[in-house]
Structure formats: structure tokens, C-alpha cells
Amino acid sequence: MPDFDQIRQQFPILQQTENGQPLVYLDNGATSQKPLKVIETIERYYRVQNANVHRGVYGLSERATELYEGAREKVRGFLNAKSTKEIVFVRGVTEAVNLVAQSWARTFLKAGDEVLITEMEHHSNIVPWQLLREQIGIRLRVLPMNDKGEVCLGAMADMVNEHTKLVSVTHMSNALGTINDVKRMCEIAHSVGAKFMADGAQATAHLKVDVQDIDCDFYALSGHKMYGPTGIGVLYAKEELLEAMPPYQGGGDMIYSVTFDSTEFNVLPYKFEAGTPNIAGGIGLGAAVDFLQELGMDKVAAYEDELLHYATNQLKQIEGLRIIGEAERKGGVISFIIDDIHPHDMATLMDQDGICVRASHHCAMPVMQHFKVPSTVRASFGVYNNFDDIDRLIASIEESKEMLL
């Protein structure tokens, strides 16, 4: 097992105080902090390696291209994709879902075709489908969840039919922590000939993901939630799908040749990467992948599971506290509310204790509607959190509660 306390030393931001208290960062669901490895990789790139990629014939540009394409290969290995042609760099999960909606779905779906999502989706896996519904008249269907925050696979099997063309599901819910059985869901989608997409925004920092084992058609991740920089993410898609899909945006780099009459598009994955890419972001994401691979995703998952169980047991001792989301399979996310206390008031007081938690609808308003709450307080864990952080969280909740009630 890696020394997870030592890992904390690799995160400069965690060495500082907040409101006079050592910083306890428990908002990893929103974004993670960055290890030295990532910070130094990006700094080195801008200090001594910066050049545009793919077109320079000089050494600096060739080296920048090697680093950028090397990062693509790292992500390929991380997801166990067959080929780097299947790894498209995008801004994040939001852009990945929009790309699938506007390129694949807008081309191959027609009015009346069904896209199935779940009740626990982030807005970024809801709104792009609503936009598509306006554009081409697809039917957006929603698989309900129970009061533990789980979807029923039997119900899913009943909902899919010959009209279902895509099932798009979060691998791990950011609002509830629920881990969905995406492999089984993918099988169900495929049984009716539908494609399957998983939103890995939360999952990739916490779980081992193998796109070939899941057999998903599309998988999306955001670099900033897995110790990498903001503004970079990945859409994985099976090669034959990407080959058939039209470009999402037009511009430089995604072309092979251009005349005023017509354009020949570049090969995969560049056909989907118009314009100068986020080079530093891609290279930084590669460093984040190295960071996670060195820890080992199985060990990360096991460690965060310990944190989750410890925190859940401690939170349950607090009178009036209700955990929102008690699925059998959960990642390191705990949402809760406390009788008569507004989540924002609670989080504001906790900030005085140096504790960063989120109080919001977590961009999953339908989840809040299900549980009939306006928002929740959410503590979400990363590899640098420890049992002391949780003890401080609990003490701060108790103190804030005293003041607010």
C-alpha cells in the first residue's frame, strides 16, 4: 500500500492555512488539487518546451509534439483503449457529451429515436440531449432511481427497446457517490442494438476503468478531476464510430487539405481536434495519469473506500443528519443535510474552520428534486485526505450545528 500520508506532501496547496487553520480540502468532486508532478510538468513545458504541435519541422516543435502525443498514449494505457486513434482530446466531459450529441447522434439519430439517461445525471449529460431533442426530435427517457440513489437494472432492461439508440450514464454520481454497474448496463444497451456512453468525470480519479472490458462505445473524462489541469479532457470512442462521425468543429489541424470547394479531413483522432490544442493541458494530464498509475488504481480505490466508511459511520452519529445517497456501491462522495440548517450556512461556517466542502445542487438538480431538498452539503475525498481530515470535518459540523440551531 502506498504511504498516503506521504502523498499529501506532494500537494503544495495543502501545506497552507485557510482562515488560520490547516486546509482540509474535501471538494474533490468539483475539482482535485494538483501534485508537484503535474505542476512541474506544466511549468517545464512553458519554460523550455513550448512550441505549437504537429506542424513544426524544427526540434522544439517536434519535441512538443512528442510530449503531447506521448500524453495521448498514456491516456490510452490508462483506459486500456485499443488505439490512440480512439483518444480525442477535448475540454472535459461537458465537451465530450456535446461532441457525441452533435456529431454522432445528430447524424445517425432521427425523430422518435430514444436516448436513455438516468435520474442521477449531471446537467452535462442532460442538457446536450435536450438541445438535440429540440433540433431533431429525439425522445429523452429517464431511468428512475430508488431512495438509496440506485438504478434498477431490471427496470432498465424493461425500458430499452428497438427505438433506444443510446444509453448515456454516469459511471459515478457526483451528487450521491453511487457507482453504476456500467458493464452490465452496456450489455443491456447492446442487447437492443443501442450504443452505450459512460460519463467518467468522477470515476477516473477513484476507480480502475477498462473501456474494452466495459465494451462501452463512448467514455468521457475530465483531467481536472483526476489531479490534472483544467481545460483538458478526453472522449474515448470506438474507432469505427469515430470514422463514421462527421467533425464536430472545423478549422486548422483537423484537415488534410482545403480548397474553397471542399476539404479533406485529417485522420483520427485529429479530425475531432480543430485548432491549436491545449498542449500544456494534454501534457499535464499525462503527468496526472502517471501519478495515478504509480499509486495504482486498485490501491486508490481501497484507500478511499476506508475513508468513505469511516466518514459514513462518524456522520451517522450526528443527530439530525441525513445522508443523501446510500447505494450499496459508492465512491468517496457523501452528501448530507442537517435538520433545519441550510447547507450554505453550514458550508460557510465550516470554511471558518479551514474546511472546504461544497453546498449546492451539484449540477444535478433532478437529484435534488428526487430527494426533495434544494441542495446538500457534500464532502468528497481524494488520495491526500486522511482520517484526521474526517475528524476535523465531524468536529466542524458539530460546532456549526451548535451555532446554527
Ligand X SMILES: Cc1ncc(COP(=O)(O)O)c(C=O)c1O
Active site residues: 363
Place of cell 452528501: 335
CB 297, min distance to ligand X, A: 18
Does 201 help bind ligand X (rule: CB under 6 A)?
A: yes
CB 404, min distance to ligand X, A: 27
CB 97, min distance to ligand X, A: 8
Instruction: Report the alpha-carbon distance of residue 218 to residue 126 in Å, rounded.
Output: 16
Point out which span in 47-55, 89-97, 291-299, 307-315 binds ligand X (CB under 6 A): 89-97
Does 151 help bind ligand X (rule: CB under 6 A)?
A: no
Helices assigned H by DSSP within 9-58:
36-44
Among 10, 94, 98, 102, indicate the residue that binds ligand X (CB under 6 A): 94
Does 122 help bind ligand X (rule: CB under 6 A)?
A: yes
Give SS3 for 236.
Answer: strand
Point out which span in 49-57, 133-141, 197-205, 331-339 binds ligand X (CB under 6 A): 197-205
Amino acid at 103: S
Does 93 help bind ligand X (rule: CB under 6 A)?
A: yes
Give the pairing type, strands 17-18 and 21-22. antiparallel
Q: Which helix (H) or strand (E) holds 235?
A: strand 233-237
Answer for the pair 228, 288: CB distance below 8 angstroms, yes or no: yes
Does 180 help bind ligand X (rule: CB under 6 A)?
A: no
Residue placing its CB nearer to ligand X in the complex, 118 or 202: 202
Helices assigned H by DSSP within 205-353:
211-214, 239-244, 279-295, 297-316, 343-352
Among 174, 266, 380, 386, indicate the residue that binds ligand X (CB under 6 A): 174
Does 119 help bind ligand X (rule: CB under 6 A)?
A: no
Q: What is the DSSP string of 51-86?
A: --SSS--SHHHHHHHHHHHHHHHHHHHHHT-S-GGG
CB 32, min distance to ligand X, A: 11
The site that binds ligand X (CB under 6 A) totals a number of residues, namely: 12
Based on its alpha-carbon atoms, the radius of gyration of the chain, rounded to whole angstroms, reads 22
Q: Which residues bind ligand X (CB under 6 A)?
A: 92-94, 122, 124, 170, 174, 199, 201-202, 222, 363
